[in-house]
Chains A and B, each alone.
Chain A
Amino acid sequence: QVQLVQSGGGVVQPGRSLRLSCAASGFTFRNFGMHWVRQAPGMGLEWLAVISGDGSKESFADSVKGRFTLSRDNSKNTVYLEMNSLRHDDTAVYYCAKGAIGSTDSWGQGTLVTISS
């Protein structure tokens, strides 16, 4: 069965960087795009970014464009979200999700990122 196991969350100061990881199993990882979505405390879901199966295409929400980068290592079945210049409003639970045609059908457990001085 599909599993997405996330790691890398924690508390970080404003302006610093953090990298989240999402390790996949149970499917042919290189064949699927991978998404990142977050939910700030008390707020709704916010789509952040997607990277294509081969890593050649990426797209970002305006709120993180230029600050967050995506990468994936298909030999390790892992996708990464590198978050730079972090701000207080980046505090959220971050989810990775497996892309499907017209949806995201499997999700990681979520990892909490807290931006605090």
Chain B
Amino acid sequence: DIVMTQSPDSLAVSLGERATIKCKSSQSILYSSDNKNYLTWYQKKAGQPPKLLIYWASTREFGVSDRFSGSGSGTDFTLTISSLRAEDAAVYYCQQHYSTPFTFGPGTKLEIK
């Protein structure tokens, strides 16, 4: 199974500042046939289902704010949230869709200072 790790476990960032969350997979999740990284980012708030933010490591889901961006390839990925707003407080998860089981990272809790 592919193991996903995230760092940090939690972070507190001031309104208007930038937050950066890292995700690492235990093996490459770059699919050679289409040259896409099968890495997805979700936002999870208490009492709500996860919300898809980014897929293929850097493609923003329709309707997601352009303050959210994803980057990386192979085994190392980053979610960046710019110009933080109060509503960005949540837990962020990465997930690989390269091979089953489609494992999640442990999550990163983002608090707003």
B101 touches A61 (CB 8 A): yes
Given contacts A100-B55, A105-B52, 13 further A-B contacts (CB under 8 A): A39-B44, A44-B91, A45-B42, A45-B107, A46-B104, A47-B104, A95-B49, A102-B40, A102-B56, A103-B56, A103-B97, A107-B50, A110-B49
B61 touches A44 (CB 8 A): no
Q: Contact residues of A with B, CB < 8 Å?
A: 35, 37, 39, 44-47, 50, 59-62, 95, 97, 100, 102-110
Contacts A95-B49, A105-B61, A110-B49 given; does A45 touch B97 at CB 8 Å: no
B49 touches A59 (CB 8 A): no
Residues in chain A near residue B42, CB distance under 8 A: 45
A103 touches B40 (CB 8 A): yes
Q: Could you give, for residues 71-107 of chain B, a 1 whenever the CB lies within 8 Å of some chain A CB and a 0 otherwise?
A: 0000000000000000000010101010011111111
A45 touches B44 (CB 8 A): yes
A61, B2: Cα distance in complex, Å: 12
Interface size class of chain B, counting residues whose CB lies under 8 Å from the partner chain: 20 to 34
Residues in chain A near residue B106, CB distance under 8 A: 44
Q: Out of B40, B49, B93, B95, which one reaches A107, CB within 8 Å?
A: B49
A45 touches B56 (CB 8 A): no
Q: Out of A35, A39, A95, A106, which one reaches B102, CB within 8 Å?
A: A35
Cross-chain pairs A/B with CB under 8 angstroms, 15 sampled: A37-B50, A37-B104, A46-B104, A47-B103, A50-B100, A50-B102, A62-B101, A95-B49, A97-B49, A97-B50, A100-B55, A102-B55, A102-B56, A102-B97, A103-B52
Contacts A102-B55, A102-B56 given; does A109 touch B104 at CB 8 Å: no
Q: Out of B49, B52, B61, which one reaches A109, CB within 8 Å?
A: B49
Please report whether the interface of chain A is mostly helix, strand, loop or mixed according to DSSP.
strand
Which A-B residue pairs are the 10 nearest by beta carbons? A107-B49, A103-B55, A59-B100, A103-B40, A61-B101, A44-B107, A47-B102, A45-B104, A102-B97, A102-B55
Best-buried of A61, A104, A106 by chain B (most CB within 10 Å) = A104
Q: Out of B44, B56, B95, which one reaches A47, CB within 8 Å?
A: B95
